[in-house]
Amino acid sequence: MSRAKIVMVAAIASGQGKTSVCAALARKLQEQGQRVTVFKTGADFIDPLILQHAAHQAVEVLDIWLLGEAACQQKLSAAAAQSDVVLIEGVMGLYDGNPSAADLARAFDIPVLLVIDASAMAQTVGALVYGMQHFGNVKIAGVIANKVASSGHAAFIASSLRECPLLGYLPPQKSCLPERHLGLVLPDEVGGLDHILQELADGLQLDREKWDSIATSVLPPQLTPTVPPLLQGKTIAVARDAAFAFIYPANIACLQALGAHIVYFSPLANQAIPFTADALYLPGGYPELHAATIAQAKRWQASLRAAQGAGMPIWAECGGMMALVEHLIDKTGRSYSMAGLLPGTVRMHSRLGALGPQAWQVEHGQLRGHTFHFSSYYTNLAPHAHAQQHPNGHEGEAIYRLAQLQASYFHAYFPSNPVATAALFGVPA
| Residue 230 lies inside a defined structural domain of this protein | no
Q: What is the pLDDT of residue 147?
A: 96
Q: pTM of the entire structure?
A: 0.90
Query: Do 180 and 253 belong to one domain?
Result: no
CB 299 within 8 A of CB 269: no
Do 253 and 212 fall within a single domain? no
* pLDDT computed for residue 379 by the predictor: 98
Contact call for residues 45 and 248 (beta carbons, < 8 A)? yes
Q: Where in the sequence is the domain holding 366, given as residue range(s)?
A: 235-424
| pLDDT in the model for residue 181 | 43
pLDDT in tens, the chain (429 residues): 668 999 999 999 999 999 999 999 999 999 999 999 999 998 878 888 889 888 888 899 999 999 999 999 999 999 999 999 999 999 999 999 989 999 999 999 999 999 999 999 999 999 999 999 999 989 999 999 999 999 999 999 999 999 899 999 999 987 666 554 444 456 565 557 888 899 999 999 999 999 999 998 878 877 777 889 999 999 999 999 999 999 999 999 999 999 999 999 999 999 999 999 999 999 999 999 999 999 999 999 999 999 999 999 999 999 999 999 999 999 999 999 999 999 999 999 988 888 899 999 999 899 999 999 999 999 999 999 999 999 999 999 999 999 999 999 999 999 999 999 999 998 764
Write the burial class of residue 135 (CB in 10 Å: 0-12 exposed, 13-18 middle, 19+ buried). Answer: exposed
Any idea which residues carry the catalytic annotation? 318
Q: Are both 206 and 311 inside the same structural domain?
A: no
CATH code of residue 359: 3.40.50.880
Q: Are 11 and 138 spatial neighbours (Cβ–Cβ below 8 Å)? A: no
**Model pLDDT, residue 304:** 97
Cβ–Cβ < 8 Å for 171, 203? yes
Does residue 103 share a domain with residue 215?
yes
Residue 378's alpha-carbon distances to 284, 287, 316, 383, in angstroms, are: 18, 17, 16, 12
Task: Examine the domain organization and report whether 327 and 268 are in the same domain.
Answer: yes
Read off φ and ψ for residue 405, nearest 5 degrees.
-90, 125
CATH code assigned at 40: 3.40.50.300
pLDDT of residue 53: 86
Determine the Cα–Cα distance for residues 261 and 235; give it in Å rounded to an integer.
5
| One domain for residues 11 and 113 | yes
Q: Distances from the Cα of 151 to the Cαs of 116, 205, 209, 250, in angstroms?
A: 16, 10, 17, 42
The dihedrals phi and psi of 44, each to the nearest 5 degrees, come to -160, 140
Cα–Cα distance, 172 to 155 (Å, whole number):
16
Same domain, 200 and 342: no
Asked, for residue 419, whether it belongs to a domain, the answer is yes
SS3 284: strand
Same domain (yes/no): 154, 13: yes
For the beta carbon of residue 150, count every other beta carbon within 10 angstroms.
Answer: 10
In a domain, 282, yes or no: yes
Residue 127: the pLDDT is 97
Cα of first residue to Cα of last residue in the chain, in angstroms, is: 36
- The answer to whether position 116 is within a domain reads yes
Q: Is residue 145 part of a domain?
A: yes
Pair type for strands 179-180 and 395-402: unpaired
Using the 3D structure, point to which of 219, 254, 271 is the last residue of a domain. 219
Q: For residue 397, give the nearest of 380, 414, 373 by alpha carbon.
A: 373
Cα 387–chain centre separation: 19
**Assigned domain for 33 exists:** yes
The pLDDT, as a whole number, for residue 108 is 94
My answer on whether 98 and 124 are in the same domain is yes
Same domain, 245 and 209: no
Query: By C-alpha distance, which of 198, 248, 186, 237 is closest to 414?
Result: 248
Last residue within a domain, chosen from 219, 245, 271: 219
Q: Which of 53, 297, 305, 303 is nearest to 198 (CA)?
A: 53
Give pLDDT, residue 48.
Answer: 84
Do 323 and 279 have their domain in common? yes
245 and 203, same structural domain? no
224: in domain = no
- Count CB-CB contacts under 10 A for residue 205: 15
**202 domain residue, yes or no:** yes
167: Cβ contacts below 8 Å, ≥ 6 apart = 113, 141, 142, 143, 144, 206, 207, 210, 211
Phi, psi values for residue 184, rounded to 5° = -70, 160
End-of-domain residue from the set 185, 219, 253: 219
Q: Is 364 in contact with 423 (CB distance < 8 Å)?
A: yes
> How far is Cα 99 from Cα 103, in angstroms, rounded to an integer?
6
Residue 129 phi, psi (nearest 5): -65, -40
Domains of the chain: total: 2
- The rounded Cα 81 to chain-centroid distance in angstroms is 23
Kind and range of the H or E element at 422?
Answer: helix 418-424
Identity of the residue numbered 199: E
**pLDDT for position 180:** 42
pLDDT given at position 186: 60
